[in-house]
Structure formats: structure tokens, C-alpha cells
Amino acid sequence: MEDRALVELALRMRERAYAPYSGYRVGAALLSASGQVFTGCNVENAVYPLGLCAERVAVFKAISEGEHHFTAIAVATENGGTPCGACRQVLSEFSPDLRILLVDAKGHVRETSLRALLPEPFGPRDLQAVR
């Protein structure tokens, strides 16, 4: 899948976000190594900690469908913001070299990588060290 198509999916998912409290709508489109795309949007809750970010929705959908390796994710926000720390950690569990396409509401795209955003993630190897 081309980057532009992934970005367009993320922008469409942003429209589906449920963000009545923050007003910060986020959409995500995650490309698996097999070529499948999994989408997500943020879902807020009146009990704030119970909400879920768009990126993690997409990852969890993918995992539930048997995908565990990803090559790219497009994340659409109002201002082209980066994934939060929790999303970075979850993404790193499966694809530490993930390409990240950040898109703002006007469609401007900036590319970065998960390694740039989370250079020293906690991972499975850290748990193996204590066994």
C-alpha cells in the first residue's frame, strides 16, 4: 500500500473518533508486513483513564486477527502530533523499526520512525534478563 492511501485511511478514521471531552480526534491506519491494514480511532470515556488511543485500537485489532509484524502506521491529528508514550511502547513490542507518518488536519505529512520517538524501549529482552 502506498503512503498516501495509508494517510487517507487515517484521516477518515479521525472523523470517527469519539472525543467529546478533549476534542482531540485521532485516526490511525496500521500496515502489517503481510499487506493488511488495520484502522483505529481514539475513544474517550467520562472516566478519563478508560479511553483508548487510535494507535492502540489499530494494534489490538491487528493482534486479534493474527498479525504481529508491522511496517508503517499513519496517525492523523489536528496538528500532526506524535503517538503518546503508551502507544510508542505498545508499537515497539511488535515493530521497533516502524515507520510513522504523521498527518495534520490539512493533510501535511511528516515521516519519522519509532526508533526516533522511542530510542530505548523496554522489551522482551529486559524481562529475559531477570529469569
User: Is 45 assigned a ligand-binding role in the annotation?
Assistant: yes
User: Is 75 assigned a ligand-binding role in the annotation?
Assistant: no
User: Is 53 assigned a ligand-binding role in the annotation?
Assistant: yes
Cα 122 from Cα 90, distance rounded (Å): 10
User: Is 21 assigned a ligand-binding role in the annotation?
Assistant: no
Question: What is the set of active-site residues?
Answer: 55
User: Is 46 assigned a ligand-binding role in the annotation?
Assistant: yes
Residue 38 forms beta bridges with which residues?
Answer: 30
User: Is 87 assigned a ligand-binding role in the annotation?
Assistant: yes
Cα 103 from Cα 13, distance rounded (Å): 12
How far is residue 42 from each of residues 35, 52, 96, 115, 120, measured CA to CA in Å?
23, 6, 22, 23, 26
User: Is 41 assigned a ligand-binding role in the annotation?
Assistant: no
Q: Please, where are the H alpha helices in 17-123? A: 54-64, 85-94, 114-117
Which segments are annotated as binding site for substrate?
Answer: 42-48
Which segments are annotated as binding site for Zn(2+)?
Answer: 53, 84, 87
Which segments are annotated as binding site?
Answer: 42-48, 53, 84, 87
